[in-house]
Amino acid sequence: MRTVRVRVYGRVQGVGFRYYTLHTARALGITGYVRNEYDGSVEIVGAGEEASIDEFVQRVDRGPVRAHISKCLVEELPEQHFTDFEVRY
């Protein structure tokens, strides 16, 4: 198992990014959460199998059609356990 924090910058709020992330995470079996940050970025914490996390990060770095990602930072975290993937407010 692997846990990562991903911070995504650019035009990522108001374009369906959180729900894109939610559906992508659930399709790949990733647990954790996604939330908008006050600085206009999106924070994602995801936990799952190594290959699933790699695919998840690649998809998040592309984002939905209306998003424009200028920067995507990935940070390894100590292993965390979540029961589902959710949008946090």
**Catalytic one among 18, 26, 35, 66?**
18
18 tagged catalytic: yes
**Catalytic one among 5, 11, 35, 36?**
36
88 tagged catalytic: no
Half-sphere exposure of 11 (CA within 13 A, CB side): 6
- Tokens 């930072």: give the residue: 73
Cβ(38)–Cβ(72) under 8 Å? no
- Measured in whole angstroms, the distance separating CA 1 from the mean position of its chain's CA atoms is 16
Give the CA radius of gyration of the chain: 12
Q: Would you name the residues annotated as active-site residues? A: 18, 36
